[in-house]
Amino acid sequence: MKGEFTMKKLLLAFLGCVCILSGCQEAPDQVKKNMNGYGESKQIDLEGVDYCSPQELKNVDIEDITYKPDNLELPSKIDFSDVEDVGVVYFKAKEKFTDNRDEFADLIGKGDVDWERSETAGGGWNFYDKDSEGWIQDNGTFGFWLGRYNQYVRSDNYLKITNRVYLGREDCPDLVCNLDGTSVSLKDVIAGTDRWVNEFKYLKGDLTYKAKTVYVRTDDQGNDYVGLFYQPMYKGVGLSYLTYPMDNNISGGGVVIVAMTSGVDLDVEKPDTVSDCVTQLNVDVESEDMADKVIDFNSALKLVEEKMSGFNRLNVVEVRIEYVLRPLYDPEKESVEDEGIIMEARPVYSFLIPNGYQEDDFSYSFSDEENGLVYINVDMIDGTVTDDFAANSFHGN
């Protein structure tokens, strides 16, 4: 069945942002309420909370933390040095992206492909042949699979993950990979994909991309396949890809998505060549309201300690500054896969905590990281504290 496997992969690419809620009478009113706030960003001064400028965040050092929460075990390092500015940002999904699908096919080396219209909500096009497959949607998202690794996946022969590297928590190891008979250091592989992902024409725009997670898989012949997950960044702040999409305060039926995930998955199996690429989001900045001041990190720790006072000790493996994206749309009339959808992005301190999930050595995607972590987010503007503990049945380390 031509294109069936492509559709399976397209579905997987969006699973992170879809949640189905039961009941749903109140959803449209909630969406209208959300839309009414579009373009507004109010700074609220909270009692007992200190503030700093966004530029001061670069200087945060774990050794200089003055507040020591009793119920949090913090990581040995915290790095906010990439942060350039912080505020409330409105992103917009791209439009009419598939008009240039033939040029896209040329760019990835496929030339004249047999495009078929997709049945997905995003208004996309697919191609599928014996060696490769791909898709592109009007909203700017796309995916292609061109290499040997894709043949393994097509046959459900998932290769074993022999090395995992979480670059936000550890330095890149001195690992040498066998790429189609050529020895290449993992650091050089990452340097090459850094260039590719930030220069590829169909990813160019207001965002940059930073490598966050690396999986190295190995086949029976000793060939390595390096999978890399890149986080989109805006002015040094990443777009969240771990945020739980369900708002338990919204009741109702149908499909209601209240948070978006983002990211770019790449696979490398030959030196200086990207064989596979999948995007979850491709947006530009519609408007922004950068903050003069944000809640400082010591105050964020106080807010987390108060919120999580019922826990004895929570082991935090990483702290990030990220944007959580909320789509502003009417689910009765629109899909979040539509072109031109607006998303409100609010900055948070995100405290990431392992939840005891057993990693899958044969995982096809980067879902291990999402499945293996829960988070506590502190809104840097208004101090709201949220978490996904209940959604993951997490009761502490």
| Residue (of 261, 260, 268) closest to 228 by Cα position | 268
Residue 59 has φ and ψ, to the nearest 5°, of -95, 0
3-state secondary structure of 221: coil
- All residue ranges of the chain with pLDDT < 70 are 1-46, 121, 244-255, 397
Q: For residues 345 and 323, what is the distance between their CA atoms, to the nearest angstrom?
A: 5
End-to-end CA distance of the chain: give it in Å, rounded: 46
Containing H/E element for 190? helix 186-199
How far, in Å, CA of 132 to CA of 3, rounded? 11
Buried b (16+ CB within 10 A) or exposed e, 149-170: bbebbeeeeebebeebbbbbee
Query: Does residue 242 contact residue 373 with C-beta atoms inside 8 Å?
Result: yes
| DSSP state at residue 323 | E
Is the CB of residue 240 less than 8 Å from the CB of residue 344?
Answer: no
Q: How far apart are alpha carbons 280 and 327 in whole angstroms?
A: 14
31 Cβ neighbours under 8 A, 6+ residues apart: 256, 328, 329, 330, 331
Q: What is the per-residue pLDDT for 369?
A: 79
Q: How far is residue 135's CA from residue 365's CA, in Å, rounded to a whole number? A: 17
Which residue in 160, 219, 174, 172 sits closest to 359, CA to CA?
160
Of 144, 268, 264, which is closest to residue 215 (Cα–Cα)?
A: 268
**Dihedral pair phi/psi, residue 152, rounded to 5°:** -60, -45
* CB contact at 8 A, 270 and 146: no
Question: Please, are residues 351 and 291 in contact by the beta-carbon 8 Å criterion?
Answer: no
Output the pLDDT for position 291: 97
Q: What confidence score (pLDDT) does residue 226 get?
A: 97
- Whole-number pLDDT of residue 358: 81
Q: How far apart are CA 260 and CA 345, in angstroms?
A: 10
3-state helix, strand, coil in the chain (%, to 5): 20, 30, 45
Q: What is the pLDDT of residue 4?
A: 46
Q: What is the pLDDT of residue 255?
A: 58
Q: CA-to-CA distance for 111 and 394, rounded, in angstroms? A: 49
Distance (Å, rounded) from C-alpha 71 to C-alpha 14? 35
Q: Name the residue type at position 32.
A: K
Please say whether the beta carbons of 89 and 41 come within 8 A: no
Residue 243 has what pLDDT? 73
Q: Where are the alpha helices (DSSP H) in 338-377?
A: 367-372
Closest CA to 205 of 110, 276, 279, 275: 279
Amino acid letter for position 95:
E
Query: The whole model's pTM is what?
Result: 0.87
* Contact present, 264 and 197 (Cβ < 8 Å): yes
Note the pLDDT of residue 336: 87
pLDDT in tens, 227-268: 999 999 999 999 998 875 655 445 555 557 788 889 999 999
Radius of gyration of the chain (CA): 21
Mind listing the pLDDT tens digit for each residue in 152-170?
988 899 999 999 999 988 8
What is the structure's pLDDT at 22? 30
Which contiguous run of DSSP H or E holds residue 71?
Answer: none
The answer for residues whose C-beta is within 8 angstroms of residue 46's C-beta and 6 or more apart is 295, 382, 383
